[in-house]
A and B are shown apart, each in its own frame.
Chain A
Amino acid sequence: MMSSSSSGSGKKFSVLVVDDDPVIQRIHRVFLDRFGFETQVVGNGKEAVDLFCSGASFHLVLMDWDMPIMDGPKATRELRRMGVRSMIVGMTSRDRDSEKQEFVRAGSDDCCSKPLTSNTVTSLLQQLHTKYH
Protein backbone atom coordinates (compact mmCIF):
# COMPACT_ATOMS: atom_id res chain seq x y z
CA MET A 1 0.00 0.00 0.00
CA MET A 2 1.44 3.39 -0.99
CA SER A 3 1.70 6.18 1.59
CA SER A 4 0.43 9.56 0.55
CA SER A 5 2.85 12.40 0.10
CA SER A 6 0.31 14.82 1.56
CA SER A 7 1.18 16.69 4.71
CA GLY A 8 -1.28 16.93 7.58
CA SER A 9 -2.73 20.14 6.11
CA GLY A 10 -3.39 18.32 2.79
CA LYS A 11 -0.51 20.07 1.00
CA LYS A 12 1.41 17.83 -1.38
CA PHE A 13 5.17 17.42 -1.32
CA SER A 14 6.88 18.69 -4.46
CA VAL A 15 9.78 16.89 -6.09
CA LEU A 16 12.25 17.89 -8.79
CA VAL A 17 13.68 14.96 -10.79
CA VAL A 18 17.04 15.89 -12.30
CA ASP A 19 18.09 13.25 -14.85
CA ASP A 20 19.08 13.25 -18.53
CA ASP A 21 17.81 9.71 -19.25
CA PRO A 22 14.33 9.88 -20.83
CA VAL A 23 13.55 6.34 -19.62
CA ILE A 24 14.29 7.24 -16.00
CA GLN A 25 12.47 10.59 -16.35
CA ARG A 26 9.29 8.81 -17.46
CA ILE A 27 9.47 6.03 -14.88
CA HIS A 28 10.22 8.34 -11.97
CA ARG A 29 7.50 10.82 -12.95
CA VAL A 30 4.79 8.15 -12.98
CA PHE A 31 6.17 6.48 -9.84
CA LEU A 32 6.27 9.74 -7.87
CA ASP A 33 2.86 10.89 -9.16
CA ARG A 34 1.47 7.58 -7.89
CA PHE A 35 2.79 8.41 -4.41
CA GLY A 36 1.02 11.78 -4.56
CA PHE A 37 4.00 14.05 -5.26
CA GLU A 38 3.80 17.13 -7.48
CA THR A 39 6.58 16.23 -9.88
CA GLN A 40 8.71 18.32 -12.21
CA VAL A 41 11.49 16.97 -14.40
CA VAL A 42 14.62 18.63 -15.81
CA GLY A 43 17.44 17.16 -17.88
CA ASN A 44 20.62 18.34 -16.16
CA GLY A 45 22.07 20.09 -13.12
CA LYS A 46 22.15 23.52 -14.74
CA GLU A 47 18.42 23.40 -15.48
CA ALA A 48 17.85 22.53 -11.82
CA VAL A 49 19.97 25.45 -10.63
CA ASP A 50 18.27 27.83 -13.09
CA LEU A 51 14.86 26.70 -11.82
CA PHE A 52 15.77 27.51 -8.21
CA CYS A 53 17.29 30.84 -9.35
CA SER A 54 13.97 31.71 -10.97
CA GLY A 55 12.27 31.37 -7.58
CA ALA A 56 10.95 27.80 -7.78
CA SER A 57 11.18 25.65 -4.69
CA PHE A 58 10.78 21.95 -4.03
CA HIS A 59 10.60 19.84 -0.89
CA LEU A 60 12.75 17.15 -2.51
CA VAL A 61 15.33 17.04 -5.31
CA LEU A 62 16.29 13.68 -6.83
CA MET A 63 19.66 14.36 -8.42
CA ASP A 64 21.28 12.03 -10.94
CA TRP A 65 25.07 11.68 -10.94
CA ASP A 66 26.18 11.86 -14.56
CA MET A 67 24.54 14.55 -16.70
CA PRO A 68 25.68 16.85 -19.49
CA ILE A 69 26.43 20.56 -18.85
CA MET A 70 26.37 20.24 -15.05
CA ASP A 71 26.60 16.93 -13.17
CA GLY A 72 24.86 15.96 -9.93
CA PRO A 73 27.59 16.75 -7.39
CA LYS A 74 28.34 20.12 -9.00
CA ALA A 75 24.65 21.07 -9.08
CA THR A 76 24.24 19.96 -5.45
CA ARG A 77 27.21 22.12 -4.36
CA GLU A 78 25.79 25.09 -6.28
CA LEU A 79 22.31 24.70 -4.76
CA ARG A 80 23.77 24.54 -1.23
CA ARG A 81 25.95 27.56 -1.97
CA MET A 82 22.77 29.41 -3.01
CA GLY A 83 21.24 28.54 0.36
CA VAL A 84 18.78 25.93 -0.93
CA ARG A 85 17.60 23.87 2.04
CA SER A 86 15.50 21.33 0.11
CA MET A 87 16.13 17.67 0.80
CA ILE A 88 18.58 16.63 -1.93
CA VAL A 89 18.98 12.92 -2.62
CA GLY A 90 21.72 11.70 -4.94
CA MET A 91 20.70 8.92 -7.33
CA THR A 92 23.64 6.56 -7.75
CA SER A 93 24.51 3.25 -9.40
CA ARG A 94 24.41 0.26 -7.08
CA ASP A 95 28.10 -0.55 -7.42
CA ARG A 96 29.46 2.95 -6.99
CA ASP A 97 30.28 3.83 -3.38
CA SER A 98 32.55 6.60 -4.69
CA GLU A 99 29.49 8.35 -6.16
CA LYS A 100 27.72 8.20 -2.81
CA GLN A 101 30.73 9.67 -1.01
CA GLU A 102 31.03 12.53 -3.47
CA PHE A 103 27.33 13.35 -3.23
CA VAL A 104 27.55 13.48 0.57
CA ARG A 105 30.64 15.73 0.34
CA ALA A 106 28.73 17.98 -2.08
CA GLY A 107 25.96 18.45 0.49
CA SER A 108 23.27 15.88 -0.32
CA ASP A 109 21.09 14.61 2.54
CA ASP A 110 20.99 11.03 1.34
CA CYS A 111 21.72 8.75 -1.61
CA CYS A 112 19.75 5.97 -3.16
CA SER A 113 20.10 3.62 -6.11
CA LYS A 114 18.36 4.02 -9.42
CA PRO A 115 15.67 3.19 -10.28
CA LEU A 116 13.37 4.16 -7.41
CA THR A 117 11.50 1.42 -5.59
CA SER A 118 8.39 1.61 -3.40
CA ASN A 119 10.52 1.06 -0.29
CA THR A 120 12.85 3.93 -1.22
CA VAL A 121 10.00 6.38 -1.83
CA THR A 122 8.27 5.33 1.40
CA SER A 123 11.50 5.98 3.30
CA LEU A 124 11.93 9.38 1.60
CA LEU A 125 8.36 10.30 2.51
CA GLN A 126 9.03 9.48 6.16
CA GLN A 127 12.11 11.71 6.09
CA LEU A 128 10.11 14.51 4.43
CA HIS A 129 7.33 14.29 7.05
CA THR A 130 9.98 14.57 9.77
CA LYS A 131 11.77 17.49 8.07
CA TYR A 132 8.70 19.56 7.23
CA HIS A 133 6.49 19.01 10.29
Chain B
Amino acid sequence: MDLVGQLQRQFVDYTTSLTREGFLDDQFKQLQKLQDESNPEFVVEVVSLFFEDSEKLLNDLASAFQQKIVDYKKVDAHVHQFKGSSSSIGAQRVKNVCVAFKTYCEARNFEGCSICLQSLEQEYHLVKSKLETLFKLEQQIMAAGGSVPEL
Protein backbone atom coordinates (compact mmCIF):
# COMPACT_ATOMS: atom_id res chain seq x y z
CA MET B 1 0.00 0.00 0.00
CA ASP B 2 1.42 3.42 -0.91
CA LEU B 3 1.74 6.30 1.56
CA VAL B 4 -1.59 7.92 0.58
CA GLY B 5 -3.36 4.56 0.90
CA GLN B 6 -1.81 3.98 4.33
CA LEU B 7 -2.79 7.44 5.57
CA GLN B 8 -6.31 7.05 4.22
CA ARG B 9 -6.64 3.69 5.96
CA GLN B 10 -5.36 5.26 9.18
CA PHE B 11 -7.92 8.05 8.84
CA VAL B 12 -10.82 5.64 8.36
CA ASP B 13 -9.69 3.44 11.27
CA TYR B 14 -9.21 6.43 13.55
CA THR B 15 -12.59 7.96 12.75
CA THR B 16 -14.27 4.58 13.27
CA SER B 17 -12.58 4.21 16.66
CA LEU B 18 -13.71 7.69 17.74
CA THR B 19 -17.30 6.72 16.98
CA ARG B 20 -16.96 3.28 18.60
CA GLU B 21 -15.50 4.79 21.79
CA GLY B 22 -18.32 7.35 21.94
CA PHE B 23 -16.19 10.45 21.41
CA LEU B 24 -18.11 11.42 18.26
CA ASP B 25 -21.62 10.57 17.14
CA ASP B 26 -23.50 10.78 13.85
CA GLN B 27 -23.76 14.57 14.05
CA PHE B 28 -20.02 14.79 13.23
CA LYS B 29 -20.66 12.81 10.03
CA GLN B 30 -23.45 15.29 9.17
CA LEU B 31 -20.93 18.12 9.47
CA GLN B 32 -18.47 16.27 7.22
CA LYS B 33 -21.22 15.89 4.60
CA LEU B 34 -21.74 19.65 4.60
CA GLN B 35 -18.09 20.26 3.65
CA ASP B 36 -17.56 20.77 -0.08
CA GLU B 37 -15.73 22.99 -2.61
CA SER B 38 -17.74 26.05 -1.55
CA ASN B 39 -16.94 25.38 2.15
CA PRO B 40 -13.65 23.41 2.04
CA GLU B 41 -12.67 24.17 5.65
CA PHE B 42 -16.15 23.93 7.14
CA VAL B 43 -15.49 21.19 9.71
CA VAL B 44 -12.25 22.76 10.96
CA GLU B 45 -14.00 26.17 11.20
CA VAL B 46 -16.94 24.85 13.16
CA VAL B 47 -14.78 22.74 15.48
CA SER B 48 -12.49 25.75 16.07
CA LEU B 49 -15.54 27.80 17.07
CA PHE B 50 -16.49 24.98 19.43
CA PHE B 51 -13.00 25.00 21.00
CA GLU B 52 -13.14 28.78 21.57
CA ASP B 53 -16.66 28.62 22.96
CA SER B 54 -15.80 25.67 25.23
CA GLU B 55 -12.69 27.21 26.72
CA LYS B 56 -14.62 30.32 27.66
CA LEU B 57 -17.42 28.22 29.16
CA LEU B 58 -14.99 26.11 31.20
CA ASN B 59 -13.39 29.32 32.58
CA ASP B 60 -16.83 30.72 33.40
CA LEU B 61 -17.81 27.47 35.14
CA ALA B 62 -14.59 27.33 37.16
CA SER B 63 -15.14 30.95 38.18
CA ALA B 64 -18.75 30.27 39.21
CA PHE B 65 -17.61 27.49 41.56
CA GLN B 66 -15.00 29.71 43.15
CA GLN B 67 -17.67 32.09 44.42
CA LYS B 68 -18.69 31.93 48.10
CA ILE B 69 -22.28 31.30 47.04
CA VAL B 70 -22.67 29.30 43.86
CA ASP B 71 -25.23 30.76 41.46
CA TYR B 72 -26.69 27.47 40.17
CA LYS B 73 -28.89 29.31 37.67
CA LYS B 74 -25.81 30.80 36.04
CA VAL B 75 -24.01 27.46 36.15
CA ASP B 76 -27.02 25.79 34.53
CA ALA B 77 -27.04 28.40 31.75
CA HIS B 78 -23.34 27.75 31.00
CA VAL B 79 -23.83 23.98 31.03
CA HIS B 80 -26.90 24.30 28.82
CA GLN B 81 -24.86 26.24 26.27
CA PHE B 82 -22.02 23.69 26.46
CA LYS B 83 -24.52 20.90 25.95
CA GLY B 84 -25.91 22.63 22.87
CA SER B 85 -22.58 23.31 21.21
CA SER B 86 -21.09 19.88 22.00
CA SER B 87 -24.23 18.23 20.65
CA SER B 88 -24.06 20.31 17.48
CA ILE B 89 -20.58 19.06 16.58
CA GLY B 90 -21.22 15.49 17.70
CA ALA B 91 -19.00 15.52 20.81
CA GLN B 92 -21.11 12.84 22.46
CA ARG B 93 -19.15 12.18 25.66
CA VAL B 94 -18.93 15.90 26.42
CA LYS B 95 -22.66 16.23 25.84
CA ASN B 96 -23.39 13.29 28.14
CA VAL B 97 -21.40 14.87 30.98
CA CYS B 98 -23.40 18.08 30.45
CA VAL B 99 -26.65 16.12 30.82
CA ALA B 100 -25.51 14.74 34.20
CA PHE B 101 -24.17 18.15 35.20
CA LYS B 102 -27.56 19.78 34.60
CA THR B 103 -29.23 17.22 36.88
CA TYR B 104 -26.80 18.07 39.70
CA CYS B 105 -27.36 21.80 39.06
CA GLU B 106 -31.09 21.40 39.36
CA ALA B 107 -30.54 19.57 42.68
CA ARG B 108 -28.04 22.26 43.77
CA ASN B 109 -25.64 19.42 44.58
CA PHE B 110 -22.21 21.04 45.00
CA GLU B 111 -20.24 17.80 45.17
CA GLY B 112 -21.98 16.31 42.14
CA CYS B 113 -21.43 19.53 40.18
CA SER B 114 -17.73 19.65 41.14
CA ILE B 115 -17.20 16.09 39.95
CA CYS B 116 -19.03 16.89 36.71
CA LEU B 117 -16.90 19.96 36.14
CA GLN B 118 -13.72 17.89 36.46
CA SER B 119 -15.21 15.27 34.16
CA LEU B 120 -16.22 17.93 31.66
CA GLU B 121 -12.69 19.37 31.56
CA GLN B 122 -11.29 15.90 31.07
CA GLU B 123 -13.71 14.89 28.30
CA TYR B 124 -13.33 18.22 26.52
CA HIS B 125 -9.52 17.98 26.46
CA LEU B 126 -9.73 14.38 25.29
CA VAL B 127 -12.06 15.14 22.38
CA LYS B 128 -10.02 18.23 21.49
CA SER B 129 -6.88 16.14 21.29
CA LYS B 130 -8.63 13.45 19.21
CA LEU B 131 -10.03 16.00 16.76
CA GLU B 132 -6.66 17.72 16.40
CA THR B 133 -5.13 14.32 15.57
CA LEU B 134 -7.88 13.72 13.00
CA PHE B 135 -7.28 17.08 11.33
CA LYS B 136 -3.51 16.41 11.24
CA LEU B 137 -4.20 13.12 9.45
CA GLU B 138 -6.34 14.97 6.89
CA GLN B 139 -3.54 17.47 6.30
CA GLN B 140 -1.02 14.63 5.85
CA ILE B 141 -3.29 12.92 3.30
CA MET B 142 -3.68 16.12 1.30
CA ALA B 143 0.03 16.96 1.55
CA ALA B 144 0.77 13.50 0.12
CA GLY B 145 -1.49 14.30 -2.85
CA GLY B 146 -4.47 12.24 -1.75
CA SER B 147 -8.07 13.05 -0.88
CA VAL B 148 -9.76 12.56 2.47
CA PRO B 149 -12.00 9.47 2.34
CA GLU B 150 -15.75 9.96 2.72
CA LEU B 151 -17.27 7.82 5.47
Which residues of A are at the interface with B, using a C-beta cutoff of 8 A? 21-24, 26-27, 30-31, 34, 66, 93, 95, 114-115, 117-118
Contact = CB atoms under 8 A, between A and B. Distances in A.
B108 interface: no
Interface in B34-73: 34, 39, 42, 45-46, 49-50, 52-53
Interface stretch (B10-18, B77-85, B122-130, B135-143): B77-85
Contacts of B49: 22-23, 26
Name A's interface SS: helix
A32 to B, nearest CB: 10
Contacts of B84: 21, 23-24, 93, 114
B148 interface: no
B53 A27 contact: no
Given A22-B53, A23-B50, A115 B81 contact: no
Contacts of B34: 27, 30-31, 34
Nearest to B102: A95
Contact of A24 (B42, B52, B85): B85
A23 B85 contact: yes
A30 B39 contact: yes
Consensus secondary structure, chain B interface: helix
B99 to A, nearest CB: 8
A114 B45 contact: no
Contacts of A117: 30
6 contacts: A23-B46, A24-B85, A27-B46, A30-B42, A114-B87, A117-B30
B88 A23 contact: yes
B89 interface: yes
B39 A21 contact: no
Contacts of B88: 21, 23-24, 27, 114-115
Nearest to B46: A26
A49 to B, nearest CB: 22
A26 B85 contact: no
Given A23-B46, A27-B31, A66 B80 contact: yes
